[in-house]
Chain A
């Protein structure tokens, strides 16, 4: 199972929007609507931000949104704030009860 492909870094100024991509294959991202996104601060555990491609768990700001087209999923953070600076990871169901994660993207708020 190969890891999902994410850009190593992304950046934006406060108030701007930034989109992070997550590319897989038809066996994972393209085959199922079970893509999740996680936020991780250094030294902390990941936090679920988006599940099922575009569902926000309770308590996650609506500035965070998810989408998917074919085998590429995307996380968009609108109205960037300083506290959004973190690492973001995607994950996808990969069939036969297996999961795969992305390599992670460091989001910098300029």
Chain B
């Protein structure tokens, strides 16, 4: 079955960086993009960006373009997202989800369990 399994919770200080992983299985990794979506405590979902494992193309939401980098490791079918210069308002659960790199579906049909990133001094 299709699964996306994310790395564990992180606690970081303001100004630091964090790298979250999303290991996929159950489908052909190179056939689908992977998106990242975050959810601040008590708030809604916010799209961060996507990466296509086939050619490592990326597209980030404008507000994250300067601080986010997404990469892939095709040997382990894993996607990574690094967020730099962390601020307190980056505290959120970060989800990976299959799809999002093109308009036609499937998009966001399978999700990881989420990774809580806490930014606190």
Contacts and interface: CB of A to CB of B under 8 A. Distances in A.
Interface string B53-75: 00000010110000000000000
Interface in A58-110: 89, 91, 93, 96-104
A55 B105 CA distance: 10
Contacts of B105: 34, 51-52, 55
B113 A101 contact: no
B108 interface: yes
Interface residues of A, number: 26
A3 interface: yes
B47 interface: yes
Contact of A34 (B44, B101, B107, B109): B107
Chain B interface residue bracket vs A: 20 to 34
Nearest to B95: A45
Contacts of A48: 108-109
A51 B109 CA distance: 9
Sort A-B residue pairs by CB-CB distance and give the 7 closest, nearest first. Answer: A45-B111, A101-B45, A104-B44, A103-B44, A99-B47, A93-B103, A97-B59
10 contacts: A34-B103, A36-B108, A45-B111, A45-B114, A46-B37, A46-B111, A98-B59, A99-B47, A100-B47, A104-B45
Interface of A: 1, 3, 32, 34, 36, 38, 45-48, 51-52, 55, 57, 89, 91, 93, 96-104
